[in-house]
């Protein structure tokens, strides 16, 4: 009886989704906003990667919201885990020499790749969030493979996290103050198209987001590993 009612509810929900999605013209040229982004985005923002142009230039306020959500999640996790007492050290096998040396060799390379992704966010696919996640995965590798009591430098993590947020917000406020008068206005010169120093404030904001997201995600991993 219970399963039957679940199936009926699922059928009703599926029918509702199908009928409401049938009216949306996917893939046709009726989406005027998308056409505007694709045709005018390069001239208006100076970023070669249109996804970055939308995320950091047209929809930068939403990006600020996303970064804030991630920040709040990290704070919440830290507040929950701080009340749990740290358990005694578990018995665990020591990592072999090959594994720990391999992790130590790979760690700076993965960090470099993450930095490359968020510095070149306006030219190639990727950006602050992806680069930050790659940097956090480097810390995961270090924690899992290299069995030494090395933790993330607390001061460095806090500094890079708060400086990233401060740079993002202050660039937005400077744009509000001296530009044509809206938040996160692209007030810097656009530069030559498809070079590293182009796109005005876009690379600066993406570097700030990369530092912030990398620090937050690796702090989450650090908090969880500390308790286990």
Partner 1 sequence: MIIIVTLLVIAMLASAISAYIFKDLLSAVIASCMVSLIAAVLFFLLHAPDVAMAEASIGAALVTAVFVIAIRRTKRYEE
User: Contact residues for partner 1 (CB under 8 A)?
Assistant: 49, 51, 117, 125-127, 129-130, 133-134, 136-137, 140, 144, 217, 220-221, 224-225, 227-228
| CB-side neighbour CA atoms (13 Å) of 193 | 10
Structure-token pair, residue 71: 């920040």
In the complex with partner 1, which residue's Cβ is closer, 121 or 175?
Answer: 121
DSSP E strands in 115-197: the ranges are none
Structure-token pair, residue 141: 């590798």
Q: Report the distance separating Cα 184 and Cα 168, nearest Å.
A: 9
Task: Report phi then psi at 214, rounded to 5.
Answer: -60, -45
**Could you tell me the smallest distance in angstroms from the CB atom of residue 209 to partner 1?**
13
Report in angstroms the alpha-carbon separations of 111 from 16, 118, 213: 46, 11, 13
**Could you tell me the smallest distance in angstroms from the CB atom of residue 174 to partner 1?**
27
| CB-side neighbour CA atoms (13 Å) of 113 | 12
In the complex with partner 1, which residue's Cβ is closer, 119 or 136?
Answer: 136
In the complex with partner 1, which residue's Cβ is closer, 126 or 164?
Answer: 126
In the complex with partner 1, which residue's Cβ is closer, 55 or 201?
Answer: 55
**Could you tell me the smallest distance in angstroms from the CB atom of residue 42 to partner 1?**
17
**Could you tell me the smallest distance in angstroms from the CB atom of residue 157 to partner 1?**
16
In the complex with partner 1, which residue's Cβ is closer, 117 or 207?
Answer: 117
**Could you tell me the smallest distance in angstroms from the CB atom of residue 124 to partner 1?**
8
């Amino acid at each position: 009886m219970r399963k039957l009612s679940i199936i009926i509810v699922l059928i009703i929900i599926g029918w509702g989704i199908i009928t409401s999605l049938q009216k949306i013209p996917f893939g046709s040229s009726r989406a005027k906003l998308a056409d505007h982004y694709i045709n005018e985005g390069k001239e208006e923002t100076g970023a070669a990667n249109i996804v970055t142009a939308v995320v950091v230039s047209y929809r930068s306020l939403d990006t600020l919201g996303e970064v804030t959500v991630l920040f709040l999640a990290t704070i919440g996790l830290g507040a929950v885990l701080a009340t749990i007492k740290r358990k005694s050290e578990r018995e665990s096998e020591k990592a072999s020499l090959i594994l720990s040396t391999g992790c130590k060799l790979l760690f700076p390379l993965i960090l470099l790749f993450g930095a490359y992704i968020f510095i070149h966010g306006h030219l190639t696919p990727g950006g602050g969030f992806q680069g930050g996640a790659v940097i956090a995965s480097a810390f995961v590798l270090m924690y899992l493979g290299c069995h030494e009591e090395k933790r993330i430098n607390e001061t460095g993590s806090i500094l890079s996290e708060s400086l990233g947020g401060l740079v993002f917000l202050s660039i937005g406020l400077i744009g509000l103050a001296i530009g044509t008068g809206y938040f996160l206005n692209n007030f810097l010169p656009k530069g030559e198209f498809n070079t590293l120093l182009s796109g005005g404030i876009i690379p600066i904001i993406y570097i700030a987001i990369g530092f912030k997201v990398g620090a937050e995600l690796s702090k989450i991993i650090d908090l969880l590993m500390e308790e286990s």
